[in-house]
Structure 1
């Protein structure tokens, strides 16, 4: 109960700031009168609840530990909440306590960690289980939005170009600094999490080769062994991915079964997050030592499928400069946790939403004849040039836009009032003591 209460208040505070705080049953009459308690007063109480939970919960259960609240789950979620509030010392302490339980370790294979067939991985600290049998699934619509069109999906929910640009090259440098990056072959020489997260062009996916090049009118169907019309190409299908990118992370052939439904575990928090929480908190405290570098390098080495001690087999982090490490750990989170629901709160707590969520969303030119004329027939597919990456990891595609080589899909909008969500109107209307957040 302490674990549940702490977890829910942590979520409410992260989005709304000051919230109504109650610890006992109240009457309907009181509910219409109670106001918001200051965030500064509630945060210590949330920490206290997490501490009480951690003190009494077991380290593990027989069977599926990650599907029930444990000591490690309470410590991990306390660390995340402290990180969100800039309480670096508390975040570092809670993360280290979770690490010191010696209960968790990184799953050996980043790619299959997210598959439906991987249950209760040693990396999972707290998950919500799903089950086809018990009709607890991600839903047919979610599956069809994510899977590609050739096997029957819609490919309507796709990764952004911003994300593709974020993955470092195998030399540890961003794409605009690395001599290894070729904008015409954007998946070559990249951190392995790039092609584990986004389907690389010309590779097999869900029984078909994935190739959005405008000349790839037909594509191999490995189920029949024959070439067929390529519905993942906008030359054939107008509503194929507008930016040519599709998700790979967590998606496999099981998503095509059970009427296009799937039941992967919903990961609430995993050990890689705890390691990077620890590293970030210690960096912000400027308490940089070997344990900080090791926490980052454990996560990065796993992505390359090698031990953390493997010399020269992955771009090991060696700098001890605070500003450099701050940038590194933020990029590491970007690469590691794509599609896991953590990016939004990272941008909010870093106060980068006003930059990252105000830029344009880009895609390939349409119709295909225009894409061929401006890009493909000139040998400039996929990206004509390399976008510049700023100090916060945000790419700049304006050079290609001005040259008429890419399409603007949307102009994203962000108002700084959105750093806090609005109290729902109906709640404010029925309770005069509930004051609205600024700007709404």
Structure 2
């Protein structure tokens, strides 16, 4: 009996990056198509393959208006008792987890396996007119497209497994087409075996993917993954595998592999640092972005991020004082090291990325100074006002008129060159210290880190500390500020096994009091208690899945 294809394709308005990709990725397929019907023509095969991208993790608004940053020491959410607060306060486990991705990711894997299995003979399946010159050209174009898409399916499988392993650690590896209820009957595989499987999928992907979609088919395919995306994912996979959570013996060979993978991206010459950090996150395609997901035009992000004194703003992610303090002074020193730092004038002479990422007291936003003091337009006393004294700026379109319901396109970045430089610096330092190199990795950790800090418009002083431990602290702090609000901190702290230090203490903020016109007093205080326990480094599999497995699935240790 032929199976019906359920919940098939549509991107449902969630678009991968690229100027013309909307026509490609927003097509819908009748949910009652059979497998035979789906895999019978170029158009339906292609649409099914494109639909697998829909299972990539969302970035914006994943938690009822909250972002994952609000479950870290980088931010909190101004709402009450929402999903992200559950994560932040430790109110989650095997019976309820707002970030449980088990079902969605295995559904994505099922569709990727189904696509690869049923499109294996695609060259014969789509064979039509090859007599005329136009027919031959059309056929060859379609053959190339599906060949690339099959390679992309291997990339997506690796991405789905990475998203699973960073949450759950050891997971079942499924190569055949199974319904979700059948996954629970498979054992969790050792983490190293999962890593090897991801690397194998990525190798198969890179053998058939395009290097770029720029200029192809009038840029209509921009947003599909490239070999650069596969290399960047391999860099991240190996970095996580080398980190303390999964490498307790600190096997330096694992760090070496991570460094080599990151250098492969660097040495490819295809990517570079964008020359405007602030505008980087308002673009869907530039020299730095390796892969991103473009969303349909909206203003929901601005409504949840704008300071609440602007009409239409409802409050949302509030950056923490903890994060603000992590930004160095313009002298390249921490605020505790720089004698010129004044806690009553804390935003003067700071790393430029601070003002590009966070709206601070007195900063100009949408043409007026932000009033975060008690009684001010954006401060305490207003509904959903910031609890920390800060609002998020990164990713936000400052030019929207919410009163007129204006909207714009947003792009969530999965991989960018700046992260790759940080991956490389971290791995190289663990193997060689700040200044060592090898034949395979001829750039030092210090060179990579300082190249990132030298970005035009940022131009932070070079890092000069010596010693592996001191340099490690610098790399970790640089990751925190450079990648703020990009869903790295939540996972970085876990792979470094620093959760008890970073996520088990209070989030701090600033209370601004107006003394007179132009005169203010800043008081720093704790605003939210957090909870973290050792078992929270990895997620539990939901109890429902464990029960369905009838002993086939073991629970994550500690749960």
Instruction: Give the corresponding residue for 2:304.
Output: 145
Asked if 1:35 is matched to 2:191, the reply is: no
Instruction: Tell me the CA shift for residue 318 of structure 1.
Output: 3.3
Instruction: Give the corresponding residue for 1:301.
Output: 454
Instruction: Give the corresponding residue for 1:109.
Output: 276
When structure 1 is superposed on structure 2, of 240-249 and 33-42 the one drifting more is 33-42
CA offset digits 1:8-61 (Å, max 9, x no partner): 101111110111111122478854522222222221111121122223222112
Change (3 A) 1:74 1:269: same
Would you say the 8 A contact 2:302–2:397 is kept in 1?
no
Asked if 1:283 is matched to 2:426, the reply is: no
Change (3 A) 1:359 1:56: same
Instruction: Tell me the CA shift for residue 77 of structure 1.
Output: 0.8
Asked if 1:93 is matched to 2:260, the reply is: yes
Would you say the 8 A contact 1:191–1:304 is kept in 2?
no
| Matched position secondary structure for 1:35 | coil
Q: 2:396 aligns with which of 251, 256, 260?
A: 251
Q: TM-score, normalised by structure 1?
A: 0.80
Q: 2:553 aligns with which of 412, 434, 437?
A: 434
Change (3 A) 1:28 1:183: closer
Asked if 1:263 is matched to 2:409, the reply is: yes
Work out the CA distance in 2 between the residues paired with 1:28 and 1:102: 41
Instruction: Give the corresponding residue for 1:81.
Output: 237
Instruction: Tell me the CA shift for residue 376 of structure 1.
Output: 9.0
| Matched position secondary structure for 1:412 | coil
Q: Which runs of 4+ in 1 moved over 6 A?
A: none
Would you say the 8 A contact 1:104–1:125 is kept in 2?
yes
Structure 1 unpaired stretches of 5+:
218-229, 307-313, 384-399, 401-405
Work out the CA distance in 1 between the residues paired with 2:222 and 2:322: 32
Instruction: Tell me the CA shift for residue 359 of structure 1.
Output: 0.7
Structure 2 unpaired stretches of 5+:
1-152, 243-253, 437-442
| Matched position secondary structure for 2:392 | coil
Change (3 A) 1:119 1:239: closer
CA offset digits 1:248-282 (Å, max 9, x no partner): 21223344457365431110010000111111111
Instruction: Give the corresponding residue for 1:240.
Output: 385
Work out the CA distance in 2 between the residues paired with 1:183 and 1:66: 46
Work out the CA distance in 2 between the residues paired with 1:431 and 1:302: 51
| Matched position secondary structure for 2:419 | helix
Q: TM-score, normalised by structure 2?
A: 0.64
Would you say the 8 A contact 1:66–1:124 is kept in 2?
no
Would you say the 8 A contact 1:3–1:49 is kept in 2?
yes
Instruction: Give the corresponding residue for 2:175.
Output: 23
Work out the CA distance in 2 between the residues paired with 1:147 and 1:241: 10
Work out the CA distance in 2 between the residues paired with 1:145 and 1:425: 33
Instruction: Give the corresponding residue for 1:418.
Output: 536
Would you say the 8 A contact 1:143–1:262 is kept in 2?
no
Instruction: Give the corresponding residue for 1:179.
Output: 339
Work out the CA distance in 1 between the residues paired with 2:178 and 2:329: 56
Instruction: Give the corresponding residue for 2:43.
Output: none
CA offset digits 1:117-149 (Å, max 9, x no partner): x231110001112222xxxx5x62x43221111
Change (3 A) 1:283 1:32: closer
Instruction: Tell me the CA shift for residue 185 of structure 1.
Output: 1.1
Instruction: Tell me the CA shift for residue 82 of structure 1.
Output: 0.8
CA offset digits 1:383-419 (Å, max 9, x no partner): 4xxxxxxxxxxxxxxxx6xxxxx3x422100011011
Instruction: Give the corresponding residue for 1:393.
Output: none
Work out the CA distance in 2 between the residues paired with 1:363 and 1:34: 46
Q: 2:482 aligns with which of 336, 357, 363?
A: 336
Alignment of 1:204-215 (within 5 A): 204-214=364-374
Equivalenced residues, count: 381
Work out the CA distance in 2 between the residues paired with 1:346 and 1:27: 32
